[in-house]
């Protein structure tokens, strides 16, 4: 190991962090121009926008996850398992907490790593807004483990209802989703699909109509951050699926049995999912004096450098990046993380060469919301066309292409095509939903 090499540490192996580590490894790492290290508290990666499908059981995480160690070995970067919990900017050092097993025994001791350039890409987590009972009684979809726990609970409830006929009649299959954003809506459609598919695998004592799904949104419409006509189109599709949508209902309390809203409405359901907002991880707040906003995001300039330390960059959901064209901040979307990772590949090469850094200009290509096999709706944006409403097959193909772009960045065109072909063959012998 060449200790004189410029050391780039990337903390967080989500979509942006892993794409950045892979592309820097192929360029700077392979040529020995820099040492690239990726740090993450998990051993594997899965594209976060797919977690709602993992939760519903319509996407197998084990078949589609990426092993960080294998990805690092193939692409000339290092991977270190651990959770960052402290930063010393004076010595340019990050500290990783000890890694423990399920019984609390130490596997890996506390460690420290020095950097020349640090990139924070730790993503986001659900924001419970300190509402009573949310943390204790709601399920979250921030990690693969949480999504899999949801899927196991859902399957257990189906099994229980199939052998106790009165269970479904007493609302034991009801699901309430707090949050009418893309995650909540896409999850509701997948759950509707699962309730129809489950009978094909021998659990035919369940009437799909007994699976009641409710979305609760505090704003006056679902998808409040997107164009109104997209909200209307999505609402019409949800109505066709008999998914109840309650807008203008702010959650104020959650118990083990009931979700309460400010208007006095009480919504009983054994399964309660929280998808009502996001924030950056709490440990970023006040991290050795770095500037953060009220959502714990690191405030960065248009070069994606921290406002208080030029040696530290941030990308993705954990970065509060200016969007001058809209007089706002770049929204926390997968396309933003993808664009920022692409810019930083160029920026960090220029930084090593002592050249000025380019600035980031976010290009909004539109938004898409998938309701699984039922529909996909969205708007595509371009310099010439403006905003175009798309639905059905075209929208579905564009939606699927977003994941392909992520795979292209990680594997290249040839391997991505081989993975796609293998998945098509696998689909002919595997069930449409995960049953274990």
Contact between residue 8 and residue 21 where contact means Cβ atoms under 8 Å apart? no
Cβ-count burial 281-302 (b if 16+ within 10 Å, e if not): beebbebeebebeebbbbbbeb
The SS3 assignment for 27 reads helix
Of the residues 251, 276, 301, the one at which a domain ends: 276
For tokens 């995480």, the residue is 61
Query: Which tokens belong to 354?
Result: 């002592």
Residues 150 and 85 in one domain: no
Q: Two tokens at 27?
A: 């360029």
Q: Considering the domain boundaries, does residue 355 fall inside one? A: yes
Task: Please tell me whether residues 161 and 252 are part of one structural domain.
Answer: yes
Locate 107 and state its tokens: 């596997």
- CA-based nearest residue to 233, from 396, 376, 133: 376
Q: Which contiguous run of DSSP H or E holds residue 378?
A: strand 376-382
Q: Do residues 232 and 244 both lie within one domain? A: yes
- Closest to 270 in 3D by CA, of 254, 252, 288: 254
Nearest alpha carbon to residue 399 among 199, 186, 146, 245: 186
* Domain contains 405: yes
Instruction: Tell me the two tokens of residue 135.
Output: 């943390």
Cα–Cα distance for residue pair 288/285, rounded to 1 Å? 9
- The last residue of one of the domains, among 363, 387, 414, is 363
324 and 397: one domain? Answer: no
Evaluate whether residue 436 is within a structural domain.
Answer: no
Domain boundary among 345, 363, 381: 363
Residue 432 domain flag: no
User: Considering only CA atoms, which of 9, 11, 74, 72 is closest in space to residue 41?
Assistant: 11
Q: What is the pLDDT of residue 165?
A: 65
In 3D space, the residue among 92, 84, 88 whose CA is nearest the CA of residue 110 turns out to be: 84
Contact 211, 195 (CB under 8 A): yes
Residues 397 and 315 in one domain: no
Burial class (CB in 10 A: 0-12, 13-18, 19+), 209: exposed
Contact 299, 289 (CB under 8 A): no
Give the total number of structural domains in the chain: 3
104 and 53, same domain (yes or no): yes
**How far apart (Å, rounded) are the C-alpha atoms in residues 89 and 311?**
9
Structure tokens at 294: 């009220």
> How would DSSP label each residue in 138-184?
-B--SSHHHHHHHHHHHHHHHHHHHHSHHHHHTTTT-EEEE--SHHH
Give the CATH number of the domain where residue 144 resides. 3.50.50.60
Q: Could you tell me if residue 433 is inside a domain? A: no
Residue carrying structure tokens 């050391």: 7
Range of the domain at 331: 6-124+280-363
Q: Are residues 236 and 359 in the same domain?
A: no
134 near 251, Cβ under 8 Å?
yes
**Do 116 and 153 have their domain in common?**
no
Q: CB-based burial of residue 90 (10 Å sphere; 0-12 exposed, 13-18 middle, 19+ buried)?
A: exposed
**H/E stretch holding 87:** strand 83-88
Residue 257 and residue 180 share a domain = yes
The bridge status of strand 175-178 relative to strand 309-314 is unpaired
pLDDT number for residue 366:
77
Q: Give the C-alpha separation, 216 to 276, whole Å.
A: 9
Q: State residue 384's pLDDT score.
A: 37
- pLDDT 10s digit of each residue in the chain, 436 long? 455 799 999 999 999 999 999 999 999 999 999 999 999 999 999 999 889 999 998 888 888 899 999 999 999 999 999 999 999 999 999 999 999 998 999 999 999 999 999 999 999 999 999 999 999 999 999 999 999 999 999 988 888 888 876 655 567 889 999 999 999 999 999 999 888 888 777 676 777 778 899 999 999 999 998 888 889 989 999 999 999 999 999 999 999 999 999 999 999 999 999 999 999 999 999 899 999 999 999 999 999 999 999 999 999 999 999 999 889 999 999 899 999 999 999 999 999 999 999 999 999 887 778 777 677 776 665 443 346 666 666 666 777 788 888 999 999 999 999 988 888 887 777 777 776 6
Q: Cβ-count burial of 181 within 10 angstroms (0-12 exposed, 13-18 middle, 19+ buried)?
A: buried
Residue 19 lies in a domain: yes
- Using CA atoms, how far apart are residues 181 and 169, in angstroms rounded to an integer? 29
> Do residues 24 and 102 both lie within one domain?
yes
Cβ-based neighbour number of residue 307 at 10 Å: 14
Judge whether 17 and 121 are in contact, CB under 8 Å: yes
The predicted pLDDT at position 435 comes to 64
């Amino acid at each position: 190991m060449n200790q004189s090499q410029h050391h780039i540490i990337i903390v967080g192996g989500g979509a942006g962090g892993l794409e950045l580590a892979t592309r820097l490894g192929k360029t700077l790492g392979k040529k020995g121009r820099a040492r690239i290290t990726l740090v993450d508290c998990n051993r594997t990666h899965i594209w976060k926008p797919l977690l709602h499908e993992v939760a519903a059981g319509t996407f197998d995480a084990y078949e589609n996850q990426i092993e960080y160690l294998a990805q690092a070995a193939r692409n000339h970067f290092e991977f270190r398992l651990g959770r960052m919990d402290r930063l010393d900017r004076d010595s340019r050092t990050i500290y990783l907490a000890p890694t423990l097993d399920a019984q609390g025994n130490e596997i890996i001791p506390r460690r420290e790593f020095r950097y020349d350039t640090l990139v924070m890409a730790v993503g986001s987590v659900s924001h419970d807004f300190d509402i009573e009972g949310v943390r204790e009684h709601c399920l979250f979809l921030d990690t693969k483990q949480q999504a899999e726990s949801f899927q196991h609970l859902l399957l257990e409830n189906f099994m229980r209802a199939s052998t106790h006929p009165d269970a479904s009649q007493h609302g034991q299959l009801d699901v309430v989703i707090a949050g009418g954003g893309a995650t909540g809506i896409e999850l509701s459609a997948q759950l509707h699909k699962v309730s129809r598919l489950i009978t094909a695998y021998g659990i035919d004592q369940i009437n799909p109509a007994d699976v009641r799904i409710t979305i609760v949104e505090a704003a006056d419409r679902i998808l409040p951050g997107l164009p109104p006509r997209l909200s209307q189109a999505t609402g019409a599709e949800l109505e066709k699926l008999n998914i109840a949508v309650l807008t203008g209902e702010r959650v104020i309390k959650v118990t083990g049995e009931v979700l309460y809203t400010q208007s006095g409405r009480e919504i009983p359901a054994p399964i309660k999912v929280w998808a009502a907002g996001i924030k950056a991880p709490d440990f970023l707040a006040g991290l050795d004096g770095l500037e953060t906003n009220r959502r714990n995001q690191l405030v960065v300039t248009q070069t994606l450098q921290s406002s208080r330390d030029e040696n530290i960059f941030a990308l993705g959901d954990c970065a509060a990046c200016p969007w001058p064209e809209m007089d706002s901040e770049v929204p926390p979307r997968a396309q933003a993380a993808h664009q920022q990772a692409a810019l930083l590949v160029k920026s960090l090469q220029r930084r090593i060469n002592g050249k000025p850094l380019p600035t980031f200009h976010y290009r909004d290509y539109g938004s898409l919301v998938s309701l699984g096999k039922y529909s996909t709706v969205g708007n595509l944006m371009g310099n010439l066309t403006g905003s175009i409403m798309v639905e059905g097959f075209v929208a579905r193909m564009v939606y699927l292409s977003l994941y392909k772009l992520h795979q292209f960045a990680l594997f290249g065109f040839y391997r991505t095509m081989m993975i796609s072909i293998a998945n098509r063959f696998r689909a002919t012998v595997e069930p449409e939903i995960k049953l274990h």
